[in-house]
Homo-oligomer: A and B are copies of this chain.
Amino acid sequence: MSHIISMLKTHPNKPNDPDLQKLADCIAACFECAQSCTACADACLAEDMVAELRLCIRTNLDCADICNATVNVLTRQTGQNPSAVKAMLEACRTACQQCATECEKHAVMHEHCQVCAEACRRCEKACALLLAAIG
């Protein structure tokens, strides 16, 4: 997703280079997770055993909404909004952790849950790294 770096580099308030890469990685991970969770919720819905996947669908939909909001908040570099950025990163990390844990329960039976759990774990890690970087 090289366009994320391109857009960050052309911003008048360009972040510093080391932070820029962590930021771009986290934005990419949040989108990958959001789209995977939207897809996994829909795939679970189409399964014969949908009744056993209710919590997975709910958790996926929550995680998708939270990751999508996080993409937007992280993309904005104008002005300073550190407490809201940090609070969203915390919420995103929590939602990804919870969604990964739920998807992993179904990963042996449903490959979409396996792929989605991996996206959630990558996003959880990217949020933690960015939180550590911004203090």
Chain A, 16-30, contact with B by CB distance < 8 Å: what is the 0/1 string? 000000000001000
Each complex incorporates copies of this chain amounting to: 4
Task: Say yes or no: B43 contacts A10, CB within 8 Å.
Answer: yes
Q: How many residues of A contact B (CB 8 A)?
A: 66
The listed residue (B13, B76, B98, B116) touching A7 by CB distance below 8 A is: B116
A35 CB contact (under 8 Å) in B4, B12, B73: B4
A residues bordering B, Cβ < 8 Å? 1, 3-4, 6-8, 10-13, 27, 31-32, 35-36, 38-40, 42-43, 45-48, 50-51, 54-55, 57-59, 61-66, 68-69, 71-73, 75-81, 83-85, 87-88, 90-91, 94-95, 98-99, 110-112, 115-116, 119
